[in-house]
């Protein structure tokens, strides 16, 4: 069996690559003792098809959540600059 601490995902936070644990055990090992009970409970009750999202949320550093909150606030304010339309309609780029 491989070393679970060595299995990682790479994502970007603040434009920089960040490696985070990519196993249930590896993620758990990075948590504060106070968070492990909540993590265990959530992982145990999560349907398999949603497990990857739960694990990613627990694995990501707090800076990633702050970055997401900033993007959501910008979008709610009507600033869609940098967005790529999924339907190919190029007229929807930029600030609304």
Give how many domains the chain has, as a whole number: 2
Quote the pTM value: 0.68
Confidence check: pLDDT of 2 > 80: no
Q: How confident is the model at residue 1 (pLDDT cuts 50, 70, 90)?
A: very low
Do residues 55 and 77 share a domain?
no
Structural domain range at position 67 = 62-96
Do residues 40 and 78 share a domain?
no
Do residues 49 and 5 share a domain?
yes
Do residues 56 and 36 share a domain?
yes
Largest interatomic CA distance in the chain: 52
Q: State pLDDT tens for residues 26-77.
A: 999 999 999 999 999 999 999 999 999 999 999 998 888 888 888 899 999 9
Do residues 10 and 52 share a domain?
yes
Do residues 38 and 13 share a domain?
yes
CB neighbour list of residue 66: distance below 8 Å, 6 or more residues apart = none
Do residues 53 and 80 share a domain?
no
CB neighbour list of residue 31: distance below 8 Å, 6 or more residues apart = 39, 58
Report pLDDT for 83.
Answer: 81
Nearest to 64 by CA among 26, 25, 9: 9
């Amino acid at each position: 069996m491989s070393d679970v601490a060595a299995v990682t995902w790479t994502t970007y936070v603040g434009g920089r690559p960040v490696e985070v644990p990519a196993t249930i055990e590896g993620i758990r090992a990075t948590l504060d003792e106070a968070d492990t009970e909540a993590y265990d409970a959530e992982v145990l009750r999560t349907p398999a098809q949603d497990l990857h999202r739960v694990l990613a949320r627990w694995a990501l550093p707090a800076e990633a959540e702050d970055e997401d909150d900033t993007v959501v606030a910008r979008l709610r304010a009507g600033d869609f600059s940098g967005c790529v339309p999924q339907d190919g309609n190029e007229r929807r780029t930029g600030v609304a």
